[in-house]
Structure 1
Amino acid sequence: MTAHPADLSPPSPPHGEFDHRIAAPATDDAFLAVALPFLAEGLAAPQEPPPVAIAAPAKLDLLRDALGADAKDVGLVPHTDWYTGSAANAVARAAGHLAAHAGPGGRIHLLMEPVWNGRAGRSPRESAEWIRYEALANLLFAPTATTALCVYDTRTAGSALLAAARRAHPDTEVYEDPLRLAAELDAVPLPPPPPDALRLPAEPAPDAVRAWAAGRGLGDADAGLFATAVTEAASLGPVAGALLWGEAPGCVCELDLAHRVDDPLAGFVPPPAAALEAGQGLWFARQVCAYVDLREIPGGGTSVRLQYGLSNGPQHGHQHGLRYG
């Protein structure tokens, strides 16, 4: 979905004090030089629980050694335990942690470093999804008083990923309006469906989608999740047409909606209920699919493309809702 200039004014949620920072260390010493003061700031902040560092195990070892006795007062989480799938899963993981552990208004210091030489930085496609998350985080977490430091180790993150990420962080001189940056990502065309894609009736039946996915190699549980994700996306309808293609794990469904979906945060805002369940629309779809892409259709419609899985794909069961207190 391509946003028009008139659509680029950000929504107006109640604003807290969300502080979204970026650091780009190139050595272990440089990492400690930014991490230790940040964690000390969190330890000294009033009305806050202990700060949390989410990073590679080797970085956590560095922090333990440098913190010494203070290490017991800092949460140390391996990044593969936090970043378990898609960028939308990262939204859910952060939202769940704030709901369960943050202080009043979402107060907490989080040092965050995904696996840059893994899923988040493995390809331009996945890097783009990560930058979308970084940009929209400025809106999604605006009501909170959370302080987040995003670490991009230049030894693994790569210069292109870092340059894009800087545009998503307000503490840089190249910060871009989140909706404008998201619209730029949405302007990149998706590959066309293959000629042999299966065309479905306007409203795809869940049983038909489940049976097709199972026939393309998805296991029963995954086929059921994919079918439910398609149903949840179709609830945005009316649906003017649908296509299915691909093989497990990358089964794809594309729905053509008869109207525009103008909300750039559609499917990213955590629902009130903590559990992942039917009835959550695009939130459900984004949590169980590797990619959910929205594109404007000439004439006023919207295509919604859902790709179910990839290697290192979404890990179901870690999703949580968020309530701001």
Structure 2
Amino acid sequence: MTHQPTPGTAPFDHRMTTLRTDDDFLSAALPFLTEALTTPAEPPPVAIAAPEKLTLLRDTLGTDAKNITLIPHTAWYTGSAANAIAQAAAHLATHAAPGGRIHLLMEPVWNGRPGRSPRETAEWIRYEALANLLFAPFATTALCVYDTRTAGSAVVEAARRTHPDTGVYEDPLRIAAELDAVPLPPPPADAHPLTHPDADAVGQQARARGLPPADAELFTESVTAAAADLAPITGIRFWGKAPACVCELRTARRVDDPLAGFVPPPTTELHPDQGLWFTRQVCAYVDIRDIHDIRDIRDGGEGSTVRIQYA
């Protein structure tokens, strides 16, 4: 993120609204967009929503719609939670005013990839929580729209805890800790061990588990990048079949930063300590646990495990 906050700018304004009808959407969206258009020295606001809601905005606004950037939410939320963070960071870097000033109307794709399972829902709640820390220095105003026709009540209630304007907001670190307290299932008995995260050996495992050559190469790069970031690695094992291939790394280090791998690098050229960022961008899930929290640990020791699932 190249924009830095300027003295006197407001912090990240992270709002939430729920709706049940198209009229509810317009009742929330129109005042928010008007607020954006009347804020001095701000670029055009962005509406990221379901295509049918964007059509509704165009029809309602008429010629004024040209003053708003309209983006289908399937083009913004394209993969993991880390992908969404990268998308927002890139947009602020290239389109926001100094200090990150811009209004974003955002509708997560709860009836698409995020939200299609409890596992993915948990990652998107993590994204909403950590956004409060990652974008805290920036004067960005975001309104997150939750359509109860596609987002269930449990999702909405969890999301309310991640938005400061709801009255039930909780510390993002507490929410991250709750998510990390959920035990991971133990590796299968036939998980394949490796001595070292050597690129050739990792690539062989990826191909043997059915990943096409391009995907196998990406997964290999993701595993080796994470391993370099987490060194020293004390154990590695593989399981699963394409596309859901899994690699678990054990490191002698304790990885206790909930933002590990989520902080956007300052440039597109990655440094050695940014391997987890790359891994999170490529892979669907990256789970980090303290070794003592893993159910199948038999040999004691200190450190962390990092479980990487390609898709």
TM-score by length of 2: 0.92
**Higher mean Cα deviation, 274-283 or 220-229?**
274-283
The answer to whether the aligner puts 1:146 opposite 2:140 as a matched pair is yes
The separation in 2 between residues aligned to 1:274 and 1:84, in whole angstroms, is 19
SS in 1 for 2:108: coil
Task: Report deviation, 1:215.
Answer: 1.4
* Alignment of 1:166 onto 2:160: yes
- Rate the CA distance shift 1:278–1:259 in 2: closer, same or farther, 3 A: closer
SS of aligned partner of 2:142: strand
| Residue of structure 2 aligned with 1:117, choices 111, 116, 124 | 111
- The amino acid across from 1:306 in the alignment is I
1:225 partner amino acid: L
What displacement does 1:211 show? 1.3
Aligned position for 1:216: 209
The whole-number CA distance in structure 1 between the counterparts of 2:302 and 2:164 is 33
The one-letter code of the counterpart of 2:123 is E
Matches within 5 A, 1:99-138: 99-138=93-132
The residue type paired with residue 39 of structure 2 is A
Matched, 1:47 2:41: yes
Question: What is the Cα deviation at residue 86 of structure 1?
Answer: 0.7
Which amino acid counterpart does residue 99 of structure 2 have in structure 1?
Answer: G
**In 2, are the aligned partners of 1:228 and 1:278 still within 8 Å (CA)?**
no
- Residue 225 of structure 2, aligned match among 229, 232, 246: 232
When normalised by structure 1's length, the TM-score is: 0.88
State the 1:110 CA deviation: 0.3
**Aligned-partner residue type, residue 197 of structure 1:** A
Alpha-carbon distance in structure 2 between the residues aligned to 1:259 and 1:93 = 30
**AA of the residue aligned to 2:172:** P
| 1:125-182: CA deviation from partner (whole Å, max 9, x where unpaired) | 0000000000000000011100000000001011010000000000011101000000
Give the secondary structure class of the aligned counterpart of 2:124: helix
Determine the C-alpha separation between the residues in 2 that align with 1:277 and 1:77.
31
For residues 300 and 172 of structure 1, the distance between their equivalents in structure 2, rounded to whole angstroms, comes to 39
Structure 1 SS opposite 2:204: helix
Please give the root-mean-square deviation of Cα atoms over the aligned residues, in Å.
1.5
Secondary structure (helix, strand or coil) at the match of 1:20 reads: strand
Query: Which ranges of structure 1 fall in alignment gaps of 5 or more residues?
Result: 1-13, 310-325
For residue 62 of structure 2, give the secondary structure of its aligned residue in structure 1. helix
Q: Secondary structure at the match of 1:242?
A: strand
Which residue is equivalent to 1:317?
none
Distance 1:152 1:296 in 2: 33
Q: Distance in 2 between matches of 1:91 and 1:28?
A: 27
Q: Does 1:306 align with 2:308?
A: yes
Matched residue type, 2:310: Y
Aligned to 1:205: 198
**Which residue does the alignment assign to 2:250?**
256
* TM-aligned CA deviation for residue 116 of structure 1: 1.1
Return the letter of the residue paired with 2:201.
Answer: A
Q: Which residue of 1 aligns with 2:76?
A: 82
Which residue of structure 2 aligns with residue 155 of structure 1?
Answer: 149
Given residue 166 of structure 2, which amino acid in structure 1 is its aligned partner?
Answer: T
CA distance in 2: counterparts of 1:104 and 1:258, whole angstroms: 41
CA distance in 1, matches of 2:143, 2:306: 32
* Kept in 2: contact 1:289–1:306 (CA 8 A): yes
Q: Per the alignment, in what secondary structure is the counterpart of residue 161 of structure 1?
A: helix
- For residue 60 of structure 1, what is the amino acid of its counterpart? L
The letter for the 1-side match of 2:203 is R
For 1:308, the aligned partner's letter is: Y
Instruction: Give distance in 2, aligned partners of 1:218 and 1:230.
Output: 14
Identify which of 259, 268, 280 aligns with 2:262: 268
- Partner in structure 2 of residue 243 of structure 1: 237
> Is the contact made by 1:277 and 1:284 (CA closer than 8 Å) also made in structure 2?
no
CA distance in 2, matches of 1:125, 1:277: 30
Deviation at 1:280, TM superposition (A): 2.6
Cα deviation for residue 79 of structure 1 reads 0.7
Counterpart amino acid of residue 69 in structure 2:
G
Contact 1:278 1:284 in 2 (8 A): no
Corresponding residue of 1:280: 274
Name the structure, 1 or 2, with higher relative contact order (CA <8 Å, separation 6+).
1
Pair 1:18 & 2:16 matched = no
Instruction: Identify unmatched segments of 5+ residues in structure 2.
Output: 1-6, 293-300
What percentage of aligned pairs have identical amino acids?
71
Aligned with 2:221: secondary structure?
helix
Distance 1:47 1:282 in 2: 36
